[in-house]
Amino acid sequence: MIGEQYLLLPGPTPLPEQIIRAMSRSMINHRGPAFHELLFEVTAGIRSIYKTQGNVLIYPSSGTGVMEAAVANFINPGDRVLAISTGVFGDRFASIAAAFGGQVEKISVPWGQAADPQVVRERIRQDTDKNIKAVLVSHNETSTGVVNNIASIAEALGDHPALLIVDTVSGLAAHPFNMDEWRVDVAASGSQKAFMIPPGLGFLAFNDRALKIHKQINNSRFYWDVSTGLDYLQKGQTPTTPAISLFYGLQEALRMMAEEGLDNIIKRHAFYRDLIRSGVEALGLELLAQGEAASCSVTSVIAPPQIGANKICTAMLQQFNIVLAGGQQSLQDVIFRIGHLGYVRELDLLAILAALEIILYKLGCPVELGAGVEVAQQRILQNHDQITG
């Protein structure tokens, strides 16, 4: 098929041309002054995206790697861990904690719903002996397209000493995330989401309270050890060889993000969410997540049961070279997911809606061609400035 794919996954995302170019630069000595400068610049940039004055370390890893780092550095074997799970990645976080000896107590939220801070508040209130040492939660649950209210969950912890550890791999920079203000202790994110660069870098942020607790944690770790990471960072280095080409991309991405402005980036993602949701609803399709729970990174659409989601994904790929994600585990063939994360344009989303209309029509669904597109166009109209001059 002619032309580029429309890659609308919840990561990896399309790459801007200038990031590709930046990544094409020659290798440098990762123990030399040029890398020092690069490391300091991107570490400061990541800190600003997390809205933290705390510590940030960058690992050669996927997002799951820094989730493992969060567990190995901040949870002791035998520690009671409250894992709030809203889907596949919430379950994964719980599994990592269990693999490292945590006594995991899981609050499993029905898939498609956000965690209820009130439930967390209640469970924390019952923990009068302060046995719970850590609370794990996903910010944005990629598998369902649900965003959890981290501010409210943090508030629900009150003055309980448990560490609040957040997986914001697909959440950061697409939703508000105010790490210090909300008093999140540890947060994990990755490169292939709102950062618009390829997979391969993990970003671990943690405050000084977490660092103090870390000194008492004797879980098994070497690669992920944050004490070693901070020692090297002081010298402008990383403990092991850094993924240099991805650092070049990250530097360019952070400059682009600074230029656009974090608030604007977050607004843009919220607009994408509204655009795609209103368009899909105009076609008579149901959305999995409702209201405040709806993600700005990815929208889960419930496929007409007589067709199934897989058939829609396959047809979108074959007819239009559009890559959507299917559902995972119990949502397999039930939902399809439209990623609108990172380097996506609003016209790409109009095109996806138009294609979806055609495919549904061809599959025998009673859709009116143009109905979803028009609703989305109206939103764009409302969102635009007047044409002047």
Binding site for its own copies (CB under 8 A): 4-5, 7, 9, 11-15, 20, 23-24, 26-32, 60-65, 68, 71-72, 77, 95-96, 99-101, 190, 192, 198-200, 219-223, 225, 239-246, 317, 323, 325
CA distance 164 to 382: 39
CA distance 353 to 330: 25
User: Residues in the chain, how many?
Assistant: 389
CB-wise, 65 or 90, nearer to its own copies? 65
CB-wise, 89 or 182, nearer to its own copies? 89
Minimum Å gap between C-beta 236 and its own copies is 15
CB-wise, 26 or 126, nearer to its own copies? 26
Gap between the terminal Cα atoms of the chain = 40
Minimum Å gap between C-beta 287 and its own copies is 22
| Cβ 335 vs Cβ 303: under 8 Å | yes
Minimal CA–CA distance to 30: which of 232, 219, 207? 232
Minimum Å gap between C-beta 12 and its own copies is 4
CA distance 122 to 143: 26
Minimum Å gap between C-beta 5 and its own copies is 7
Minimum Å gap between C-beta 1 and its own copies is 13
CB-wise, 282 or 313, nearer to its own copies? 313
Minimal CA–CA distance to 221: which of 65, 367, 342, 111? 65
Minimum Å gap between C-beta 196 and its own copies is 10
CB-wise, 100 or 182, nearer to its own copies? 100
CA distance 42 to 30: 14
CA distance 107 to 199: 30
Alpha carbon separation from 170 to 65, 226, 234, 250, 298 (Å, rounded): 14, 22, 29, 16, 9
CB-wise, 70 or 373, nearer to its own copies? 70
